[in-house]
Structure 1
Amino acid sequence: MSQPSSWPLPTGSSRVVLPLQLTRQLSRHPLTKHLYPLAYGHYVDALGHQVERLQHTDFLLIFCHRGQGWFRTQHADGSLEAGQLLLLPAGESHAYAASNEQPWSIYWAHFQGSAAAACMDFLELTAQQPVLTLSRWRQLIPVVTDLLNLQTQRHQFAAAVVAASLLQRIIVELPRLTSTMQAPAGFDLPALERFMYDNSHRDLSLDEFADFAGLSRFHFSKKFKQFTGTSPMRYFNQIRVKLACQLLDSSTDSIRQISQQLGFDDPYYFSRLFKKTMGISPQFYRESSVAKVLSQTDALSSSTNTKT
């Protein structure tokens, strides 16, 4: 297995390394043995992130959703821009790094399985051309979010099977997301997303989002779901729950105070929404201590080589 990078995780980033005993179970189980994760995560504004491997024993998928970086293999080299995916096969020595000027934000996964090698052909990638451009990648955000949220659960086999199924779904969805699809006129998703983050302390309505986009309520909702795969309000609430996780991890504010900071007048509604999104309550999330779970995972994996 590949040696992990030493890049430190800032708030908002995550890294999950599955214990060796668990990945061995996945490699034998009929539901997962054809393709299963070894490690996965999300690095945000990853300044200083760089890796070089002369030996590589598993498959590595890196998707850049903001900023940029570069990669080099035995057969290819180039940049990785926002909206592009890099798939590195097992056995391919490589190096990659985030740009110093515009450091990338990336989703990544190390994986293995009897069908892992077939992913290159399925995505029509080669050693000479390992990069895929995804014009409609935002449609996968709900699935990616579900995968990352599994890190809040302790490493039980059932959760690992779910992680394997979500990774498989992400990969099989990729070809249909490569076709060119222009954003609707007057629909600027990056600007709208920035508007959501800037106003995460407010309880915004669908009408306010539609007004910002310059569209009617009906047409805005239709075009937003067509372009992202989810509803505007669910997208906004996912952002607020993500920010809530950061506050629960980094502050000692009460759950009531955090809910008020994120525009929720009713802390009970906030707790129900948080549990619906994350699968656990805000209080349990805080008490479970994600950092402790990851520390325990690293301890279980210390006798073996692990991941990015």
Structure 2
Amino acid sequence: MSQPSSWPLPTGSSRIVLPLELTEHLARHPLSKHFYPLAYGHYLEATGHRVKRSMHTDHLLIFCHRGSGHYRVETAQGTQFGSLNAGQLLLLPAGLPHAYQADAETPWSIYWTHFSGSESARCMDILGLAPNQFVLTLDNWRSLLPNVTDLLNLQHQRWQRQRAVRAATLLQSLFAQLPDLASQAQQAQDFDLLALERFMQDNSHRNLDLADFARVAGLSRFHFAKKFKTVTGTSPMRYFNELKIKLACQQLDSSTDTVRTIAQSLGFDDPYYFSRLFKKVMGLAPSAYRDSHQGHN
């Protein structure tokens, strides 16, 4: 594990380093082995707090809720510098040399955790960060505080295996909330989802691809796809196809058009592909959907 800082702890600050026996247990337990904490804590007005690591063996998350700080990350493309302000999250993946420190005039107050697990790298991916993007701005981050408080309060109890698993599940819950809290801020910065939905609706008769949507959003295909999934929880093409299936249901309900005609009106040249997609989304074929709905009416 990358050693946490030895910054002297004043009243109100805390630092918890899980014993090796417990982290080894977490690495095997079915509820925690994918994602678990190695150490975590809360530093208040951390004057003089600074860390430099040439080797980094686990993942690190730092959330600043007051004040500010600065970071440096060594990537394959070169050195990247940045600042971390209140309401922002810094995520440093394993393997990247880095340094960070509290601002001299407005030292940060931070929650932090070192974490690992068999799926920890993939968990980082759910945040939708672009390559060499390390900072995420959170909206309404105070909704995380009950779980954060529960996690920190575990330090006042005798560490046992079940409490270590509890710490892991609390951290997993916190991490799972981050995409929702980041989505509004990231959406405002990157693309207008409502405008994109209108574009999809207006062009539901066309056979569009990822490049078309990325162009409307003004982003690269890779960056757009990651941001879109962060905001919506699904891929752009699946979102577009499911929109088309909803429109197909409306036509099946309100018209006597053939399945082939409806498929063509929604940009599907192959009615058999359309029928397979419809069944995948709705659970039954278009003709069966129409029959069941008419029978219900």
* TM-score bin (small chain): 0.5 to 0.7
**How far apart are 1:127 and its partner, in Å?**
4.8
Once the two structures are superposed, residues 31-51 of structure 1 have per-residue CA deviations (whole angstroms, 9 ceiling, x without a partner) of 110000000000000000000
Would the aligned equivalents of 1:120 and 1:126 in 2 still touch at CA under 8 Å? no
Q: Is 1:2 equivalent to 2:2 in the alignment?
A: yes
Encode CA deviations 1:31-77: one digit per residue, 9 max, x unaligned: 11000000000000000000000001000000000000001101322
Match in the other structure for 1:130: 134
Aligned to 1:97: 101
The answer to whether the aligner puts 1:158 opposite 2:168 as a matched pair is no
Asked if 1:54 corresponds to 2:72, the answer is: no
How far apart, CA to CA, are the structure 2 residues paired with 1:153 and 1:21?
A: 17
Matches within 5 A, 1:201-240: none
Structure 1 residue 136, shift from structure 2 partner: 1.2
TM-superposition CA deviations, 1:203-238 (whole Å, max 9, x none): xxxxxxxxxxxxxxxxxxxxxxxxxxxxxxxxxxxx
CA distance in 2, matches of 1:127, 1:108: 22
CA contact (8 A) 2:4 2:39 kept: no
For 2:154, give the aligned amino acid: L
The 2-side partners of 1:148 and 1:6 are apart by 18
Instruction: Name the SS of the counterpart of 2:154 in structure 1.
Output: helix
Residues in 2 aligned to 1:119 and 1:137: alpha-carbon distance in whole angstroms: 19
* Distance in 1, Cα, partners of 2:109 & 2:145: 14
Partner-residue secondary structure (3-state), 1:78 = strand
User: Does 1 or 2 have the higher relative contact order (CA < 8 Å, sep 6+)?
Assistant: 1
Q: Which residue of 1 aligns with 2:66?
A: 66
Question: Contact 1:67/1:102 (CA < 8 Å) preserved in 2?
Answer: yes
Q: Is the contact made by 2:63 and 2:90 (CA closer than 8 Å) also made in structure 1?
A: yes
1:145 aligns with 2:149: yes
Residue 176 of structure 2 aligns with which residue? Answer: 172
Equivalent position of 2:25 in the other structure: 25
| Alpha-carbon distance in 1 for matches of 2:130, 2:15 | 27
2:60 maps to 1:45: no
Residue identity opposite 1:167 in structure 2: L
Match of 2:122 among 103, 113, 118: 118
CA–CA separation in structure 2 for the residues paired with 1:110 and 1:87:
10
> Per-residue deviation at 1:128?
1.1
- Aligned with 2:112 (options 105, 108, 115): 108
State the distance in 2 between where 1:115 and 1:167 align: 14
Identity in percent: 66
Determine if contact 1:64/1:80 at 8 Å carries over to the other structure.
yes
User: Structure 1: which amino acid aligns with 2:178?
Assistant: L
Contact 1:58–1:90 (8 Å) recurs in 2? yes
**RMSD of the alignment, in Å?**
1.1
CA deviation map 1:183-214 (0-9, x unaligned): xxxxxxxxxxxxxxxxxxxxxxxxxxxxxxxx
Render the CA deviation track for 1:241-276: whole Å, top value 9, x for unaligned.
xxxxxxxxxxxxxxxxxxxxxxxxxxxxxxxxxxxx
The answer to whether the 8 A contact 1:64-1:105 is kept is: yes
Distance 1:135 1:156 in 2: 34
> How many angstroms apart in 2 are the aligned matches of 1:23 and 1:9?
23
Q: Tell me the CA shift for residue 12 of structure 1.
A: 0.4
SS of structure 1 residue aligned to 2:165:
helix
After TM superposition, where is structure 1 displaced by more than 2 Å over at least 4 residues in a row?
none
TM-score scaled by structure 2? 0.60
Structure 1 residues not aligned, in runs of 5+: 182-308
Once residues 120 and 184 of structure 2 are traced to their aligned partners in structure 1, the CA distance between those partners, rounded to angstroms, is 27
Q: Secondary structure at the match of 1:71?
A: strand
**In 2, Cα distance between the equivalents of 1:128 and 1:65?**
23
Query: Whose radius of gyration is greater, 1 or 2?
Result: 2
Q: TM-score, normalised by structure 1?
A: 0.57
Contact 1:68 1:102 in 2 (8 A): yes
CA shift, 1:115, in A, is 1.1
User: Retained in 2: the 8 A contact 1:61–1:110?
Assistant: yes
The residue type paired with residue 94 of structure 1 is H
Structure 2 unaligned residues grouped into runs of 5+: 186-297
